[in-house]
Amino acid sequence: MTDKPFQPNWLPFALAAVPYADVGTAWEAMAKYTGAIPAWPQLPRTSALENMYVQYCERFPGIEVSNGKAVVNRRKGLDEDLELLYLAYLENQVDYGRISAAYAAGLASLLRGDVDLPGPLAAIKGEVTGPISWALTIADQNERPLLYDEVLADAVAKHLCMKATWQERQLQPFAPQTILLVNEPYMASFGSSFISLSRNQVISLIDQVFAGVSGLKALHCCGNADWSLALSTSIDILSLDAYDYGHGLVRYVQPLGEFLQRGGIVSWGIVPASIGAESETVTGLVERLERTIDSLVEAGLQRESLLKAGLVTPSCGLGALDQENAQRVFELLVGVSQEMRHRYVVSAPAPEQGVEPS
């Protein structure tokens, strides 16, 4: 765990993907609704290069991008590029992991100084796709996922480590704390025939991505995952779809309790990142979240530990929604955050952001 001070205080937190058509509008939304912990926005609707898998592929050995799809062409010969990657990793050549403006317009806009961030910030967030999901999605020219090549799977973890490390270095001047989130949707498939890796291999690949990160390390999965696996990594923040799968945490009370004892934070994805959000209310979502917390207390966790270690987030990224539904999700996010802060963080100052009545 990092020794830098950070109090979650039920602040709103979000994944990167948003449905906006231009970077200015996307940043306005992030600043308004996640003001204390802004995240640079991922814009999959503006460019196929901002797809969560393509976005982090620059300089991976043998990579070719065409029509929004990334493929590793083994016929090119990978040895020289692999050597460059491993040399950069071993010598901590952080610039190897840079992400160009064509692949991340939101991040580039921030680094150019075009963004007026709200203040004061509690933290600022970056993101990379996780090594399991990335290596399952990116394949070679024969459609064999990289995950099933031992050399290339290891290279994926080191490649994404460089992306994470470079991002963190770029974000550090903007806030007193950085959060680097690994988005790992395919972790929910662990234990099925879809992922033929051992538990230790999964943990090792994820921890390799975090190896160069000095700030807070977050891991998100929007499915019904084996949370003991996630909690066995080096993360500081567990981010999950608590709307659909929060009840499943009760099966992992021991590792969750140990995680909280060492200072871990839970980012509760209690706001559904779907068109169904339009029928939800702040009151209903807060009650849903409190029922989940109650079930964990009944199973043996300390209520105080849970209540002092919470963030609020949508259940997943918002890139697949239309702008109207995304706005509703953001409004609910702020409303739930404010209600939880009102109930459990009495002395905490309210961050500047929009609000939606319950």
Q: Judge whether residue 212 has pLDDT over 70.
A: yes
Rounded to an integer, the average pLDDT of 131-143 is: 95
Secondary structure of residue 241 in the 3-state scheme: coil
Residue tagged 């939304």 (tokens): 29
Task: Return the CATH number of the domain spanning residue range 23-344.
Answer: 3.20.20.210
- Among residues 85, 86, 91, 88, which one has the least CA distance to residue 59? 85
pLDDT at 58 over 60: yes
pLDDT digits (tens, 9 = 90+) for 151-175: 999 999 999 999 999 999 999 999 9
pLDDT at res. 355: 43
Can you give the pLDDT at residue 327?
Answer: 96
Q: What percent of the chain has pLDDT over 70?
A: 94
Tokens read off for 323: 């702008």
Q: Determine the residue type at 228.
A: S
Position 67 scores a pLDDT of 87
Sheet of 265-271: strand order equals 124-129, 178-183, 216-221, 237-240, 265-271, 310-314
**Alpha carbons 235 and 216: distance in angstroms, whole number:** 8
Q: Does residue 357 have a pLDDT over 70?
A: no
Torsion region of 317: left, alpha or beta (phi above 0 gives left; psi -120 to 50 gives alpha): beta
Task: Supply the DSSP symbol for 149.
Answer: S
Beta bridge partners of 216: 179
Terminal C-alpha separation, the chain: 36
| Position 350 pLDDT exceeds 60 | no
User: What global pTM score does this model have?
Assistant: 0.94
**What is the residue extent of each domain of the chain?**
23-344
